[in-house]
């Protein structure tokens, strides 16, 4: 995209997030940990930090749901679309929804790697679009990745820093 195009982004230095529902496939603490890990993957590259809130409003609201769940994008059952997230903004902006009809895994067992999908969705929540690079976290289709050395591609880092600038090493 043309850098001058005013793409939506968070303007506050601290962005809040809240996890409002969980999946039966994973322990809650695992979901909490993997969400924090996905957020940190992005925030360590940019001058922006995340703060978790347990109640009340948050910029990024994260949850699991199946089928029709109150927005204009009902989920489609097992397979197909795994999750969706909204670009930065008020209300639904930034929110990330995960399809509860998927079998979510923590990277060890069978099932969809939650860390990989959460990193993709939170990329959208930060304002990133899809990439045509199959190595990019923002590639439009899910590719099984081993959680051990799952990391952002150089293109992902370039894209996020184009939007938010680099985190100073100080
Ligand atoms: C990149 C993800 C983390 C997030 C994206 C959704 S989004 C909005 N966040 N960009 C996603 O779910 N992509 C689908 C795309 C997709 C692939 N197929 C589909 C069949 C039907 C419907 C969608 C798909 C073919 C069959 C495989 C189905 C399982 C895997 N699904 C996907 O990769
Ligand atoms: Ca689905
Ligand atoms: Zn939704
Ligand atoms: Zn996507």
**Model ipTM value:** 0.99
> Ligand 1 site: residues with CB under 6 angstroms?
79-85, 117, 120-121, 124, 140-142
Nearby residues for ligand 2 (ion, Cβ within 5 Å):
76, 80-81, 99
In the prediction, which pLDDT does 156 show? 98
Task: Find residue 84's DSSP bridge partners.
Answer: 97
Q: Which of 22, 25, 87 is nearest to 60 (CA)?
A: 87
Dist CA 112 CA 87 (whole Å): 23
Rounded alpha-carbon distances, angstroms, from residue 2 to 14, 122, 136:
26, 22, 20
Q: Could you identify the atom of ligand 1 that is nearest to the CA of residue 124?
A: 9
In the prediction, which pLDDT does 170 show? 64
Q: Which ligand is closest in space to the CA of residue 118?
A: 1
Sign of CA dihedral 121, 122, 123, 127: positive
Please give the model's pTM, rounded to 2 decimal places.
0.96
- pLDDT tens, per residue, the chain with 170 residues: 455 467 999 999 999 999 999 999 999 999 999 999 999 999 999 999 999 999 999 999 999 999 999 999 999 999 999 999 999 999 999 999 999 999 999 988 889 999 999 999 999 999 999 999 999 999 999 987 766 778 999 999 999 999 999 998 76
Set 45, 100, 121, 159: catalytic member: 121
Ligand 2 centroid, distance to 138 Cα (angstroms): 18
Q: Could you identify the atom of ligand 1 that is nearest to the CA of residue 139?
A: 1
Q: Check if 121 is active-site.
A: yes
């Amino acid at each position: 995209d043309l850098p001058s195009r005013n793409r939506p982004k968070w303007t506050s230095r601290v962005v809040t997030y809240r996890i409002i529902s969980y999946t039966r496939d994973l322990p809650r603490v695992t979901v909490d940990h993997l969400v924090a890990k996905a957020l940190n993957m992005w925030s360590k590259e940019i001058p922006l930090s995340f703060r978790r809130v347990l109640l009340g409003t948050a910029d990024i609201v994260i949850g699991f749901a199946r089928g029709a769940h109150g927005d204009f994008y009902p989920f489609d059952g097992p397979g197909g679309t795994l999750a969706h997230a909204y670009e930065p903004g008020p209300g639904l902006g930034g929110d990330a929804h995960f399809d509860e009809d998927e079998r979510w895994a923590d990277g060890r067992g069978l099932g969809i790697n939650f860390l990989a999908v959460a990193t993709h969705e939170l990329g959208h929540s930060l304002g990133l679009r899809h990439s045509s690079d199959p190595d990019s976290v923002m590639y439009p289709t899910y590719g099984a990745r081993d959680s051990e050395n799952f990391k952002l591609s150089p293109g992902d880092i370039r894209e996020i820093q184009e939007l938010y600038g680099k985190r100073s090493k100080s």
